[in-house]
Amino acid sequence: MSPIDRYDSHCHFSPRITEEVFTKEVVPHLMNQEWPINLMMTNHIDEPLVTTLVDMNPNVMANVGIHPWFTHLYTFEADISKEDHYHKVLEKYSKNWKYDHPITEFTRFLPDPIPIHATLKRFKATLLGCSFVNVGEIGIDKSARVPRCGFLGNTETGDIAGLSNYKVSMEHQLRVLLAILDIVAEVGVKSVSIHCVNAHGILYDVLKPLNFANKIPRIVMHSYSGSVEMAKMLLKLKNVDIWFGLSDYVNLGRSNIREIVFCTREKLLVETDLGVDTMGESHGKTIDLVVSKLEALGVDRNTLMDNWIRFNSH
């Protein structure tokens, strides 16, 4: 029997988390968190919130990172105008988009670009200052379109909804990803949670040549949406230790889920991929639902719990 009966290998805050909700509702709840959760950082809004939780409760494991959906908000250039930055890192999603809008329609809602070097410096300091802080959520996404409001959680745009016909260039997404992976290699981080959508071949080519001399990281393909063949290729990589996270929200209705579960069962982790602030007291029930569905697919609960223990072993 496993010494734990529940965990969440990947959760985060919802895009519209506020400091008031965080302080009055989330912090008291997480202070009393009784089972392990791996809490991701996604952007500039939740960065100060996640870092506040470091050392608060050993069951709340904090991570630092920039989600690919927010990478356009960050710049590598020391002196670049807002207009030049967004024109540089954004590109058309589709030439056949029926309702096209000029880029200025939503860039006017966007902030001045955030200097990424300062952000990376803070990440590194946090990682060096606390050995059990890890990296996530980072990655690449070939399918994501920038919202017409500029970014998820933007409170400056009122009721503007829907998606624009723009996406973050893969070049910029990769530059952000590689910059953070450089810190992983330098610091010797234990685990990394990676978001990847319709770009698993590109990610494989990124991971294969990397040299993590200090410490081989455990890289979680969170809410894995790739093929069975790609999962097998990733598992064969020698320079990284690949794991796979599955959530009900993203994965369990997919046509290849049985095959994915079969080939990854010894490296499989349970996750919600949802906001802790929105789940609240139902967090445990949400995890139990994922576990029960994975059990129905042939993975017993003890295996899932033991995987988490192995994943977190030194």
pLDDT at 76: 98
pLDDT at 2: 59
Question: What is the average per-residue pLDDT within 131-139?
Answer: 94
Nearest to 119 by CA among 194, 67, 61: 67
pLDDT class for 99, splitting at 50, 70, 90? low
Q: How far apart are CA 178 and CA 120, in angstroms?
A: 11
Q: What does the pLDDT look like over 15-65, one tens digit per residue?
A: 989 999 999 999 999 999 999 999 999 999 999 999 999 989 999 999 999
Q: Is the pLDDT of residue 82 over 90?
A: yes
Question: What is the average per-residue pLDDT within 102-120?
Answer: 89
Q: Is the pLDDT of residue 109 over 60?
A: yes
Q: Is the pLDDT of residue 152 over 70?
A: yes
260 Cβ contact list (under 8 Å, min separation 6): 224, 228, 231, 244, 246, 251, 254
Instruction: Give the CATH H-level superfamily of domain 8-312.
Output: Metal-dependent hydrolases (3.20.20.140)
**Number of CB atoms found within 10 A of residue 34's CB:** 8
pLDDT class for 1, splitting at 50, 70, 90? very low
User: What DSSP designation does 25 have?
Assistant: I
Q: pTM here?
A: 0.94
Q: What does the pLDDT look like over 155-177, one tens digit per residue?
A: 877 677 888 889 999 999 999 99
C-beta separation of 200 from 227 below 8 A = yes
Q: Is the pLDDT of residue 98 over 70?
A: no
Q: What does the pLDDT look like over 231-280, one tens digit per residue?
A: 999 999 999 999 999 999 888 888 889 999 999 999 999 999 999 999 98
